[in-house]
């Protein structure tokens, strides 16, 4: 999963986090929102940065482990990793 999430995907993550209308992937505030609302729900997470500056993130939620998800920013990579393991 790369690139920006769709409006529907943002709405799904907002529902999972119990929030409304929050942009979890873009802008300086996105990372703050992720750490305030989404990260506390996951069992653990880890991140690392490649020499190319892409960020890789992996999370676990209720025993479901995401793959290593890469993004141009930590917020985008974290969004996709959490999106991958959230409840449907």
Q: For the segment 6-19, what is each residue's pLDDT rounded down to a tens digit?
A: 999 999 999 999 99
Domain that holds residue 65: 7-85
Mean pLDDT, range 63-88, rounded to an integer: 91
Lookup: tokens for 2: 């790369």
Q: Sign (positive/negative) of CA torsion 80, 16, 58, 79?
A: positive
More confident call, 63 vs 88: 63
Closest CA to 31 of 6, 57, 60, 8: 57
Residues in contact with 3: Cβ distance below 8 Å, sequence separation at least 6, in sequence order: none
pTM for the model: 0.91
Tokens of 38: 């989404």
Question: Residue 78 contacts by C-beta under 8 Å, 6 or more apart in sequence?
Answer: 31, 34, 38, 39, 45, 47, 57, 59, 71
Q: What is the DSSP letter of 23?
A: -
Instruction: Note whether residue 1 is domain-resident.
Output: no
Examine residue 11 and state whether it is found in any structural domain, yes or no. yes
Tell me whether residue 2 is in a domain: no
Residue 44: inside a domain: yes
pLDDT tens figures, 33-74: 999 999 999 999 999 998 888 999 999 999 999 999 999 899
Give the CATH number, domain containing residue 52: 3.30.160
């Amino acid at each position: 999963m790369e690139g920006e999430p769709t409006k529907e995907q943002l709405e799904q993550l907002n529902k999972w986090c119990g929030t409304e209308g929050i942009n979890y992937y873009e802008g300086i505030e996105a990372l703050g929102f992720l750490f305030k609302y989404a990260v506390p729900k996951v069992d653990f997470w880890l991140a690392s940065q490649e020499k190319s500056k892409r960020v890789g993130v992996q999370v676990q939620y209720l025993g479901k482990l995401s793959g290593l998800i890469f993004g141009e920013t930590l917020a985008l990579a974290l969004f996709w990793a959490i999106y991958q393991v959230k409840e449907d």
